Structure formats: C-alpha cells, structure tokens
Amino acid sequence: MKYNNNLPIYMQIMDKIKKDIVLGNVQPGEKLPSTKQLAQDSQVNPNTIARVYRELEREEVTFTQRGVGTYVTKNEGVRKKLQEIMAGKVVQQFLQGMKELGFSLEEMQELIQREKEKEE
Amino acid sequence: MKYNNNLPIYMQIMDKIKKDIVLGNVQPGEKLPSTKQLAQDSQVNPNTIARVYRELEREEVTFTQRGVGTYVTKNEGVRKKLQEIMAGKVVQQFLQGMKELGFSLEEMQELIQREKEKEE
Amino acid sequence: MKYNNNLPIYMQIMDKIKKDIVLGNVQPGEKLPSTKQLAQDSQVNPNTIARVYRELEREEVTFTQRGVGTYVTKNEGVRKKLQEIMAGKVVQQFLQGMKELGFSLEEMQELIQREKEKEE
Amino acid sequence: MKYNNNLPIYMQIMDKIKKDIVLGNVQPGEKLPSTKQLAQDSQVNPNTIARVYRELEREEVTFTQRGVGTYVTKNEGVRKKLQEIMAGKVVQQFLQGMKELGFSLEEMQELIQREKEKEE
DNA sequence: GTGGTCTAGACCACT
DNA sequence: GTGGTCTAGACCACC
C-alpha cells in the first residue's frame, strides 16, 4: 500500500482554473493572469504555472498568444464540456467510495433524496 | 489557496481498517495485525501504526490488551455505525464537489439514475 | 506485583496544566506556551508536548489554532468540571489507600477532623 | 520540573510488607520468607531484598537471626505504630492533592461524608 | 513563528 | 512478542 496520492500542484491549479471557467468566473475569450502574476498569487514556482498553461492549451481549454498572454478558448462549448468531465470525476469518486462501503445505487439515490428533503 | 488536501497517513490507515470492518473482512472480536507487522506491511513507521491503534481505541472501534494485541470491538453495532459515519463523509464530499461545479440536487439524482441505467 | 505506578510524562504535564486552569493560574481563552517553549521549560521532547496539547484538545480542555497557538477553552464551566474530575481521582486514591490499611470511612473522617483542629 | 518520581523498588517492597503486618496477614514474631524466596517471588534481585530486610530491621519492624531468618518484631505495638505512620502518609498526600485543587478541609469532609452516604 | 506529521531507533511493562 | 512511551531530528502547512 502506498499512502501518498496527492495530485501534483500543477494539476490542482489546472482544476481550479477549469472550475472558474465552468462557473463563469472567467468568460470564454477572457485573458488569464500572467505566469508571473499567477505564480506569485499561488505561492508557486513560475515553471509550475508555465506547465499549467502548457497543459491547458494541449487540452484546448486555453490558447496562448506569444508575448501577449493566455486566453480562455472562445469555443462556447468548452464550459459545458469541462463541467461534464469534472462532474464525471466527482461522480465516479462518489460511486467508488460508496461501493467500497457496500452501498447499492438504490441506496445512494435514497441518500441524495434525503438531502433534498433536508433542504426543503 | 490550499494545494494539499491529503489526509495524514495514520488517518488513511484508520479508514482502511474501518472499511474492512464495515465490509466484514474483519469480524467483531477478531485480532488485528501487530503494530510491527502492520507497519512492515504498510511500509510505515511502527509509531504511526501505534497512533492508528491508539486513535481507533479512543473511537471505541477497537480495544487493546497490553502485551497481547489489538482487537476489533465485540459490539455488533459498530459495523452499522461505522458505515453510516463513513458514508456520510463520502456523501458530503460529493454534494460539495457537485455544488462547486454548479449542479443542483436534482441534476445529481439524474446522474446517479443514469449510472443505474448503464448498469442494467 | 507491580513496581511501577508512574503516570507517563505526557499525562503528568496534562495534569499540571489542568491544575493551573482549576486554580486560575491560566484563564479561559488564555494562550498556553508554544510546544517548543514548553518542551524546553519542562526539559521534555517537543513531540511529547505535542501529544499533551493534542490530548487536551481531545478532552475539550483547550483548542488549537493552526499556526497560531493553543488556548484554554473559553467555556467557563471547564474550571468547575476539571476540578470535580481531578478531585474525584484524589478522593478515590485516598479511599483505596486507607481501606488497604484497614480504615473505615468514620476513621477517615476523624483524621480529617483532627487536621481541622490542628489548623485552628 | 522533573517528571520521574518513582519510589525505589526496595521501598515499595518494604511498604508491601508493612501493609501485610498492619492488616495482620503476618503476625508479630512470624517468620518472613527467605531473601532468595522473596527475590524470586518478586522478580527482583536478591540484593534488593537484602536491603529491604536491612532497612526494616533498622526501623525495628523486623529482627534477624543470622543463619535462621528474618522475623516480624514481637513488640505488639508495632502494628498500631505502622498503621499510624502509613496512614499519615496517605492522609498528607490527600490533603496536599486537594489543597492544590483549591479545596478546604470542610469541603474534603463533605466529600468523605458523601462517600459514606453512597455506601449505605 | 505556530502546530501537525512522520521516521528511526530505543527502552519499558506485561504475557 | 505485544503495545506504550520517549527522544531526536526532519519536513510541511498555515499565519
């Protein structure tokens, strides 16, 4: 058994940016902070941020204009797509965690239903 | 921003043991491996395992006989209680994660429903 | 026969702190010395003090602010409660010790009474 | 602060023997076990037991006949005297402990009284 | 600077 | 051989 499964920092920052896109905190086409700026804000090495932007571009979430900056892709579908992917991860984690505790899908539904009733 | 949300090793191992109890992999009253044994198996320092067993005893999940070993509590209710507590945590994590992505409880229900249909 | 009835160091230090709270030497809400400071003062390893503060927090005698310090709980009732618990222990030890010497409760009362008269 | 205040083993064994005399488990004039025998029973070095008997003799609790054995003193008063001395220690410990917790002698009396009522 | 965790290795008490 | 305690020293996260 290994007991250190932390996500690398660059992935955590990527997730944070994606979440901001999903929630509309940053809009399609909007400029993201400079590498140096974000490095300072996140208390992280600029190389790490460079990697963040490189990977985001590879995933076609952002695009980069050399000497100018990094922008959120203008493709409007990106929001929806990101939301689905990230939600999928959360759902899978939930399903796995509950299955490991011996719960069936029906029981999971009931638990969510109970939350709904609690909210009312 | 926080870029480290890992549980400490001793808690991860506690969770692993609790999960084993919930699933019936270890029965009430059954002896758990010795600290040194589990330390070796888990590639972890014996002190860390000592802490695991100390905290589990505090939570009345196990009991300890000095010079003999650590045993799962004989109280049959423990299984049920642990299941509820641990499931509660997984559910809360799910709810929070999905809310952060802008999902409503209804949408979460639909996603689980879709999983159910996938399974059939 | 057992020839070692010493409390572990960490418990002795816990008792010392509790006693200080009971006597008002430290007030509710007051900051306790840092682990490293107290470790130096007590000529004890910082890990041992860490355990002291961890257990005190578990008993809700103190609370901890990560990166700031450890404080006596603000709940005013703590003083009274601690006093009762600790006095109970002293009384039980007394009762047991005297019973082992063949004294009755009446005789114990007389001895305390004699102390009272001595004082006057 | 020092946190190791264990009584030396030889004193603990002396106390045990005195307690037995007080309670009449061994009678005045009765023979005590041999050094070797008691050493084995107590899992202790024979030199330690030799010291026990030497000190008990010095306190005139026992007397020794060379080549024969060690005996409880025939003086009938010894029982009473030992009881008083040992009880005095227990009482002093109690008084000090309670004073450190801020209790008055009256309050101590009340607590003992409460024990008496509990017993009935 | 604070507390929190972990390792390495030691010694002790109990069986 | 078991768990319980302690030390020494290290690294991390938070403020």
pLDDT tens digits in sequence order for chain B, 120 residues long: 555 567 889 999 999 999 999 988 999 999 999 999 999 999 999 999 999 999 999 999 999 998 899 999 998 888 899 999 999 989 988 988 888 888 888 888 888 898 888 877
- Asked whether strand E has any atom less than 7 Å from the CB of B53, the reply is no
CB A32, CB A42: distance < 8 Å: no
CB B101, CB A87: distance < 8 Å: yes
Mean pLDDT of D28-32: 91
The residue among B62, B55, B73 whose CA lies nearest residue B12 is: B55
pLDDT band at A45 (very low <50, low <70, confident <90, very high): confident
Asked whether the beta carbons of residue C9 and residue D19 sit closer than 8 angstroms, the reply is no
Pairing of strands B62-65, B69-72: antiparallel
The residues, any chain, with a CB within 8 Å of residue B75's CB and separated by 6 or more, are B28, B60
Flag whether pLDDT at D3 surpasses 70.
Answer: no
A to B CB pairs, distance under 8 Å: 99
Note the pTM of the prediction, 2 decimals. Answer: 0.79
Between the CA of residue A36 and those of A10, C35, C44, D40, what are the distances in Å? 14, 37, 45, 76
Q: Which residues numbered 63-92 in D keep a CB inside 8 Å of some CB on C?
A: 83, 86-87, 90-91
Is the pLDDT higher at A119 or at A24? A24
Would an 8 Å CB–CB cutoff place D109 in contact with chain C? Answer: yes
Average pLDDT of every residue of chain C: 89
| Core vs surface per residue A61-95: b (16+ CB within 10 A) or e | bbeeeeeeebbbbeeeebbeebbeebbeebbeebb
Percentage of residues in chain D having pLDDT higher than 90: 25
For the stretch C29-64, pLDDT in tens is 999 999 999 999 999 999 999 999 999 999 999 999
Chain A partners within 8 Å of B3 (Cβ) = 9, 12-13, 42, 44
Residue with the two structure tokens 């509710």: C28
d(CA D101, CA C23): 6
Would an 8 Å CB–CB cutoff place A19 in contact with chain B? Answer: yes
Chain C partners within 8 Å of D100 (Cβ) = 19, 23
Residue with the two structure tokens 């140096």: A36
